[in-house]
């Protein structure tokens, strides 16, 4: 937004002073003041710190002051769309194995922010108690810094699981998010049972099978 603003070329003055301003505290301006020689083009870049909603726009202006006392004022306006994913993190692991992922959470403001953590499984659409995502409900990040958030994933079965982890400031509504995918392969061997007996003699061994879920499962062969 606020990409370029062309300086007038019909003036015969060699230099001009540029002053810029943005309305409110929701923008971070990269150009504040300076001197240009005509003809020239002013590249004015801004980094929006908040999204625009309800058809509202960020407003600002660029003022050109000439040595003869005259000036020209350009009005600026732009929109800020919702953020894109900070990153996409892939993982591959066997079933029945805990996976811990450290996710960096950045605070772009000059004051501390508390983020509410929202985790959801995007794919498959329907999941059951065999898949779980866990972590703290909130994370506090100091001003203009970052902290790592610990996310845990566990599943009892194979498959492809795509998840979304969002960190939202409940006061402002601003947020950032990551996409984390897990490719789960077949589990490894739990244990080995050795059987030893004489020829033509039967030997028995007991295998204990536990159900870690709260519902009754039906074996599938």
* Spatial separation of the C-alpha atoms in residues 177 and 103, rounded to whole Å: 10
Question: Distance between the two ends of the chain, CA-based, in angstroms?
Answer: 59
pLDDT at 210: 79
Cα dist from 167 to 85, 102, 112, 114, 156, whole Å: 11, 14, 14, 9, 27
pLDDT at 158: 93
Annotation: CATH topology of 88-185:
Immunoglobulin-like (2.60.40)
- The tens-digit pLDDT sequence of the chain (221 residues) is 433 444 444 444 334 444 444 444 455 444 445 566 666 666 667 778 888 878 788 887 777 777 777 888 888 888 888 999 999 999 999 999 999 999 999 999 999 999 999 999 998 887 778 899 999 999 999 999 999 999 999 999 999 999 999 999 999 999 999 999 999 999 888 788 899 999 999 999 988 887 777 766 555 54
50 neighbors 174 (Cβ within 8 angstroms): yes
Q: Which two tokens stand for residue 160?
A: 């492809």
What predicted TM-score, i.e. pTM, was given to this entire model? 0.72
């Amino acid at each position: 937004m606020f990409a370029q603003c062309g300086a007038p070329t019909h003036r015969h003055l060699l230099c001009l002073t540029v002053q810029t301003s943005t309305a409110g505290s929701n923008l971070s301006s990269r150009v504040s003041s300076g001197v240009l020689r005509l003809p020239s083009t002013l590249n004015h870049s801004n980094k929006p710190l908040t999204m625009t909603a309800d058809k509202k726009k960020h407003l600002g202006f660029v003022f050109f002051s000439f040595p003869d006392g005259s000036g020209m004022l350009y009005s600026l306006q732009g929109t800020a769309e919702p953020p894109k994913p900070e990153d996409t993190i892939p993982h591959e692991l066997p079933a029945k194995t805990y996976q811990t992922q450290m996710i960096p959470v950045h605070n772009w403001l000059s004051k501390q922010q508390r983020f509410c953590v929202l985790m959801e499984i995007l794919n498959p659409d329907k999941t059951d108690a065999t898949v779980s995502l866990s972590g703290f409900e909130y994370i506090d990040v100091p001003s203009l810094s970052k902290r790592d958030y610990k996310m845990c994933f566990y599943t009892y079965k194979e498959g492809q699981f795509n998840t979304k982890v969002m960190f939202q400031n409940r006061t402002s509504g601003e947020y950032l998010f990551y996409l984390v995918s897990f490719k789960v392969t077949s589990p490894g061997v739990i244990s080995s049972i050795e059987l030893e007996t004489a020829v033509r003699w039967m030997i028995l061994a007991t295998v204990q099978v536990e159900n870690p879920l709260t519902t009754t499962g039906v074996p599938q062969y």
